[in-house]
Structure 1
Amino acid sequence: MATRRLPPLRSLEAFVRIVRLGSAKAAANELALSPSALSRRVTALEDFVGKKLFLRQHQAMKLTEDGQSLFDAVAPALDELAEKIGTHMGDSRLLRLRLAVMPLFAAQRLVPRMRELRRLYPALHIDMESSSHPVPRLGDTLDAAIILSDGPDPSLHMVQLDQNRVHAIASTELVAMLGDTPDPDLLAKQNFLVHSDMERSFEAWRKAAGLLPRHRPTVDHYDSGPLILEAAAQGLGVAIMHGDHLSRSNDARLAPLYDLEVESPYSYWFVCRPRALENRQVRIFHDWLVNAKL
């Protein structure tokens, strides 16, 4: 019986990465390829299957129906292949978890408890990164992630890790200047520091503080919680963050602004693909994290 030819694995990998990351540029960076090299791999796959997989529109690449069908068939098989190969690589006694986690959660809540995890499971090692949009890479280059989200994604296994309140945080000097009671006209003259992924937190806080649509304070966006805290400590503006970010920072330069009860639209969540829980390293970390109540 003749063996059926398979397409080049690198072409399949490039195809799946583009779809999951939603961008040819991001996929090229992830694979350390030039845009032209990535394009050649996709073209080779299209030539092999004899079908157009993407519609190319300027910088965007949109899946065709044939492309979507191929992705649905191939991506799970590649994930399974990667898992099986992983079990035969290196020292089988080591369990390695590829985890994405937001920097402030890692610094304030996860890393301080890692020695406890290591004592319980000395074979578990964690490759940790702080990528800003990890979900498309779950099941590919990441096993799991800890993210800020405003609600569950039915395609993922998600565990809510907290329920927080939104606080305004500023330097002690700025807090003293702004007083104990919100003054919308005075607040409208301030600069606010907001995480790029937490815009709704700022909207919730400004409503509670009495800022109207006519009040238009300036807003600087950051993609890093530690940078926001440091900018606030340096007097660059009022940071809109979760309350425990301040209490865990132990930074005497910072203080809460006003005593407002504002429920956050966002929580920290542990997320992974449902099938990832079949992997021992993911299951160990998942169960420890849920019970540890960081």
Structure 2
Amino acid sequence: MRRLPPLRSLEAFVRVARLGTSKAAAAELALSAPALSRRIKALEDHIGKQLFERRNQAMVLNEDGQSLLDAVAPAMETIGEAVDQMTVSGGSLRLRLGVLPLFGATRLVPRLPEFRRLYPKLHIDVDTSTHAQNMLGDVIDAAIIIADQVDPNLYAVKLDTNKIYAIAATDLVHGPNAIKTPEDLMNHNILIHSDMVKAFDRWKEAVGKPDLNPVSIDQMNSGPLILEAVAQGLGVAIMHGGHFSDANDPRLARLFDYDIDSPYSYWFVCRKRDKKNRAVRIFHDWVLKAGL
């Protein structure tokens, strides 16, 4: 039999190729950065070719790396599916689900007791990493993401539509330094989600102030963190009204009464082939029926 490279080196290669950075791949594999580098180097030594172009923190596939990924990734997925099938015991099922922290805390977890009563043998492993689309078929089976558009190669169902709110601490709404008009935001820091960077531009256009420039704009990749920062007086958030209502935090208040459609929605996504997976199918159907 032809000698093959270690499976763990191939796994590391696929993770880095899909996530784009060794740091993200190392975190997903629970490895140190040097350990991940050794696995990649072992694969390159085995093949006798470099597979990536190193660009600061990013690792970009070169032509040889892309050719290897195209050939190896489907086989790795097949192996993973076979192992998953073999590890199902006692009729139980397991779903690896990617979900954003705020959606998970306010919309998913409160409904999981209902799901468990209906499907007691289906267990859900939750991953709250960002960029879940890049991990489908590798780290997770399905995900609930927030996006303005979804990769057409994926199966996707839009779960909602949203409005954009300006959200501030209550003392900035009712106190002596209350924000009265959109122009007042010029004197404040704006907080936006790093996956929803278009939201502020859409909001400014809708209120007729496309050139409004605040003191600064800070990005965070966690909805709960943004809301806590707002509550602590660190800025005004431009985010979904659903985030505001789901948080139900008396320290927060909505600014203004503008009715502004968001370019972003929550989506259920998975690979098209995984739509046939029983655990994915059960969860997908429940999410749509439950109206999450």
TM over 0.5: yes
AA in 1 matched with 2:258: L
**Contact 2:12–2:40, Cα closer than 8 Å, also in 1:** yes
Task: Determine the structure 2 residue equivalent to 1:61.
Answer: 59
Could you tell me whether the CA contact under 8 Å between 2:23 and 2:33 is conserved in 1? yes
Give, in whole Å, the separation in 1 of the partners of 2:14 and 2:29: 11
1:69, 1:92 → 2: CA distance? 40
Task: Give the 3-state SS of the residue equivalent to 2:86 in structure 1.
Answer: coil
Which residue is 1:121 aligned to? 119
Q: How does 1:30-109 map to 2 (within 5 A)?
A: 30-57=28-55, 59-89=57-87, 91-109=89-107
Paired residue for 1:157, among 151, 155, 158? 155
2-side partners of 1:95 and 1:231: how far apart? 39
Q: Unaligned stretches of 5+ in structure 1?
A: none
Name which of structure 1's ranges 85-94 and 14-23 shifts more when overlaid on structure 2: 85-94
Q: Which residue number in structure 1 is paired with residue 230 of structure 2?
A: 232
Instruction: Map 1:1-294 onto structure 2 (within 5 A).
Output: 3-57=1-55, 59-89=57-87, 91-177=89-175, 182-184=181-183, 186-213=184-211, 215-294=213-292
* Aligned residues with identical type, % of pairs: 58
Higher mean C-alpha deviation, range 233-242 or range 158-167: 233-242
TM-score by length of 1: 0.91
The Cα offsets for residues 43-83 of structure 1, whole Å up to 9 and x where unpaired, read as: 33233334432234555433222221111111111111111
- After superposing on structure 2, the runs of 4+ consecutive aligned residues of structure 1 that deviate more than 6 Å are none
Give the partner amino acid of 1:72. Answer: D
* Deviation, structure 1 residue 10: 1.3
Q: Which secondary structure state, in structure 2, belongs to the residue aligned with residue 188 of structure 1?
A: helix
CA-atom RMSD in angstroms: 2.1
Amino acid at match of 1:253: R
Residue 170 of structure 1 aligns to a residue in which SS? strand
Q: Distance in 2 between matches of 1:80 and 1:92?
A: 23
Residue identity in the other structure for 1:239: A
Q: For 2:181, give the aligned amino acid.
A: P
Would the alpha carbon gap of residues 181 and 80 (structure 1) be closer, same or farther in structure 2, given more than 3 Å must change? same
* SS of residue in 1 equivalent to 2:192: strand
Displacement of 1:155: 1.8
- Asked whether the 8 Å contact 2:19–2:134 carries over to 1, the reply is yes
- d(CA) in 1 for partners of 2:249, 2:56: 48
Q: Provide, for residues 84-120 of structure 1, a one-character-per-residue CA deviation record: whole Å limited to 9, x for no partner.
A: 1111126242211111111111111111111111111
Secondary structure of 1:41's match?
helix
TM-score by length of 2: 0.91
Task: Kindly indicate whether the alpha-carbon contact (under 8 Å) linking 1:155 and 1:273 is maintained by their aligned counterparts in 2.
Answer: yes
Query: For structure 2, which runs of at least 5 residues remain unmatched after alignment?
Result: none
The 10-residue stretch of structure 1 (72-81 or 34-43) with the greater mean CA deviation from structure 2:
34-43
- Amino acid corresponding to residue 151 of structure 2 in structure 1: D
Do the aligned residues in 1 keep the contact of 2:170 with 2:252 (CA within 8 Å)? yes
